[in-house]
Structure 1
Amino acid sequence: MVGERRVRLARRRRAIGMSQQDLADRLHVDVRSVGRWEAGGGDPQPWLRNSLALALDISVDELEALLRAGQPESASVPLTGHAIATAHTRQNERHAVVSTTAADELMSLRRSLASSVTDGALSGSLLFGLEETVRQYGLAARDQPASLLLADLTAELSEVQELLTRPRPLSTAAILTKIAARMAGLICLTLIKLDRRSEFRSWARVASSAAHEAGDPETISWVLAQEAYGHYYGGDLSEALAVAASAQQAAHAAPRVGSVLSAALEARLLAARGDKSRCERALGRAEDVLAHLPPEYINDSAFGYDEGQLRFHEGNAYTHLGDTAKAWLAQDAALELCAPADFMDRAFARLDRASCLISDGDAGSGLAYAIETMSNLSNQQRAGIISLRGRQLLRAIPEPRRHALPAAAELRDRLMTPDASEVPEP
């Protein structure tokens, strides 16, 4: 079911003399997003809430209270600490019970609204808002659990798809197609993290088609790099290596995020095959591309790359090669450089360290380190490829020895995480 209308939120907007379009322009979002929030069909993204509260001239806590299920127009609920706490509780409960059917109904609503209210040329502010939304999702992809991003990404992309179905000037269509390709690539990345392999493959085809249609080398290279990572985590190393090479070719020798991502992945692939010389050459290419990457792309985002990410990839490559001394140095650098909120790369770097300890004959310490790593993550954070990596680590210990170690059973317990399909979506 679609949520109750948030009449108090709409009433606050009207009280300060703003239309839905005025508020949308202020936040650089589609006016349909404002209508959706007030209709109870969705929540403002976390990074918009400070700006939304400022636009409505209220505190963030007051905004959270207004985002509760709708109240009758005559209702007047004081914004007490208890009311705010109740708002958070109800929001969490609502997130926990949204089913696949409800998500489908929300998507259908968005598409219906898009068909009803969208016509004419798109304004520059709307296009800017869509591009900014994609950029913010790229940032959120580094520190938000994938399951929490998937529903919002799907909804946003459905709206872009509706815009693409209408006649547009070629220049506008090209921008929308690039936005669609990047959103599809983010969905692809999210499905990779959740280890939803069959869906990843379908979305990889969609993202690649959209990227090639947009004709933007940066986007093509980036989308192909995401596809290569999906094949890698899916265990198809030959396909991953071929797509990584395509991603570097698509960059046309220019320093692009896709080319450094795919070069780093190529190093990991070659390391998994035991090819140290070619692995180190690939690492050298990744170092060179990163050194020449434009400053605006050097960041901790899904659309950027930085030294912390490279050190993690380097550490993983040397872990595969069994060169634990070099792997340890790279892991130290990765853990120092990765943002504290970047739980995925930090967890992977720590699990690589656990693997090194096991490889060096200290299985007890390695398992203890892996248990500590998993214990610091929520179920949603562990779901998908992080749990997959933990299971790989366990399998690296010979079975008789594994059964004799109590820590192995404890780590197995930590890995009993619900499948991504069972993790509630917002």
Structure 2
Amino acid sequence: MSIREFAAHLGVHERLVSKWEAGGSRVKPRPVNQAALDTSLARSDEVVRARFTALLAPAGETDLLAFVDAGVSKSAVPELMSERELIMAAAHEASEHAAAAESTNVGPTTLAQLDADVRRIATEYVYAAPAPMMVEMLRVRRRVYRLLDGQQKPVDTSHLYLLAGTLSGLLANASTDLGYLDAAGEQIRAAWAYAELSGHNGLRAWTRGMHALIENWSDRPRNAVQLARGGQEFAPGGLARVRLLNIEARVWARLGNDTETDRCLRAAESVDGDRREELHDEIGGVFGFPSAKAAYYAGATCIQLGRAEHALAATERAIALYSSGPPLQRSYGAESLARVDNAAAHLINGSIDGAADALRPVLGLPEDRRIAQLGERLVGLRRRIAAPNYRNAVEARGLDERIEEFCLETAAQTGKPRL
């Protein structure tokens, strides 16, 4: 078959097949595409069959340790699962068995393990690729759902609803990063229902903020403002309130309202920072709002209003804080978006070289970390590069071509239309 025919057979873009065919480590087939390639090319070894069987299993149901029971050879293990998958599968088996051994439907060991799972996922998500993390989110949430189908003490039921809400919120965040805003909206509404059932104000506040962001990205900014304001009812102070005020400021900036934007920013600066809350301060990760993220939000808000100098200062602070902070707390998504806003500020100031320097790490991101918001923001950046003052600049054309290639590769990997 020709490359075009083979690409059509696999259901992918022909350029992606060309890159696979060229070899090298830059673009590799995803596992599901690898399985399709193995089948199409008639490979029939035991490893491929085992991998394909695992991939076809319903999400969350694959039992990696079943391969151990089946007597798979040691040499085949690296092909079937990574070292981390093997270790985590063994740990999950232990916690599941311990839960079954407890005398009640939900005991302290089970709840402690589920709490630990949520903390781990919320922390890991800031530096891990979204798609694989979704599998883990689903695994834990399905376990919570199974427990809720049983009987437990009211206090434990409330705890399980809180866990279901945080996991649904995490899934909403991941759906947003992957570009599925309708799915994100459905997940965040479920998260709000669980927040109400658990009566947890921290989750109520965080959920309202996440829903406001989803509405803003879905071109419904007026709804976003109401959601951000509604969340402040449950956040009298601390990081939860700072986050909601910063979200509201971003939406007002998008609407071009300088007065309301500045009001929110001033209010955020005067928030009582001594108030601590479990979700935002103790669990943190996706649920946190550290100084680096606050600086990134401030930069994004200033870019919306065309305040280039303020945007430069804020985004440079965000980049510096992320770069110098602990690696396991370095949010590649927020840092990359801050770099795009930094590039936009440089372009407003007439510096194409500054923009190119800011974007270099972004354009080198692995495909699995290219969140949907990046593509949308880069489209806006290309509009700035197309302005008359850059139209004949060789450096501007070169940067525009690199951004276009980035968007093309991202579209090929995700199967979504090119931005």
TM-score calculated relative to the size of structure 1: 0.70
Alpha-carbon contact 1:290-1:306 (below 8 Å) kept: no
- 2 and 402 in structure 1: CA distance in 2 versus 1, 3 angstrom threshold: farther
Q: Percent identity, aligned pairs only?
A: 18
Alpha-carbon contact 2:253-2:304 (below 8 Å) kept: yes
Q: Does 1:315 align with 2:299?
A: yes
Note the 1:27-426 alignment, pairs <5 A.
36-39=63-66, 72=71, 77=74, 88=78, 90-91=80-81, 120-251=104-235, 254-289=236-271, 291-294=273-276, 297-298=280-281, 301-338=285-322, 339=325, 340=327, 341-362=330-351, 364-365=352-353, 367-369=355-357, 371-398=359-386, 405-416=397-408, 417-418=410-411, 422=415
- 394 and 122 in structure 1: CA distance in 2 versus 1, 3 angstrom threshold: same
In 1, Cα distance between equivalents of 2:192 and 2:117: 20
In 2, Cα distance between equivalents of 1:71 and 1:344: 40
- 421 and 122 in structure 1: CA distance in 2 versus 1, 3 angstrom threshold: farther
* Cross-structure match for 2:5: none
- What do the CA deviations read for 1:327-369 (whole angstroms, capped 9, x no partner)? 111112211222453211111111111101111233x335523
In 2, Cα distance between equivalents of 1:352 and 1:151: 31
- 390 and 227 in structure 1: CA distance in 2 versus 1, 3 angstrom threshold: same
The code of the aligned residue for 2:248 comes to E
Q: CA deviation at 1:422?
A: 4.7
Q: CA deviation at 1:90?
A: 4.8
**More divergent stretch after superposition (255-264 vs 324-333):** 255-264
- 385 and 396 in structure 1: CA distance in 2 versus 1, 3 angstrom threshold: same
In 2, Cα distance between equivalents of 1:218 and 1:260: 13
Q: CA deviation at 1:373?
A: 3.1
Alpha-carbon contact 1:370-1:390 (below 8 Å) kept: no
* Cross-structure match for 1:108: none
TM-score calculated relative to the size of structure 2: 0.71
In 2, Cα distance between equivalents of 1:4 and 1:331: 44
Partner secondary structure for residue 256 of structure 2: coil
* Cross-structure match for 1:18: none
**More divergent stretch after superposition (232-241 vs 298-307):** 298-307
Q: CA deviation at 1:406?
A: 3.0
| Count of residues in correspondence between the two structures | 339
In 1, Cα distance between equivalents of 2:111 and 2:303: 44
The code of the aligned residue for 1:414 comes to F
Q: CA deviation at 1:137?
A: 1.1
In 2, Cα distance between equivalents of 1:191 and 1:218: 21
In 1, Cα distance between equivalents of 2:266 and 2:332: 26
Alpha-carbon contact 1:221-1:248 (below 8 Å) kept: yes
The code of the aligned residue for 1:372 comes to R
Unaligned stretches of 5+ residues in structure 2: 1-48, 55-59, 86-96
The code of the aligned residue for 1:348 comes to L
In 2, Cα distance between equivalents of 1:367 and 1:235: 27
Alpha-carbon contact 1:350-1:369 (below 8 Å) kept: no
In 1, Cα distance between equivalents of 2:183 and 2:299: 29
* Cross-structure match for 1:13: none
The code of the aligned residue for 2:361 comes to T
In 2, Cα distance between equivalents of 1:287 and 1:39: 54
Alpha-carbon contact 1:312-1:331 (below 8 Å) kept: yes
- 347 and 188 in structure 1: CA distance in 2 versus 1, 3 angstrom threshold: same
Unaligned stretches of 5+ residues in structure 1: 7-32, 41-68, 78-82, 96-112
- 4 and 324 in structure 1: CA distance in 2 versus 1, 3 angstrom threshold: closer
Q: Structure 1 runs of 4+ off > 4 angstroms?
A: 1-6, 86-90, 116-119, 295-300, 399-404, 419-423
- 395 and 236 in structure 1: CA distance in 2 versus 1, 3 angstrom threshold: farther
Alpha-carbon contact 2:105-2:150 (below 8 Å) kept: no
Alpha-carbon contact 2:176-2:184 (below 8 Å) kept: yes
CA-based RMSD of the aligned residues comes to: 3.6
Q: CA deviation at 1:256?
A: 4.7
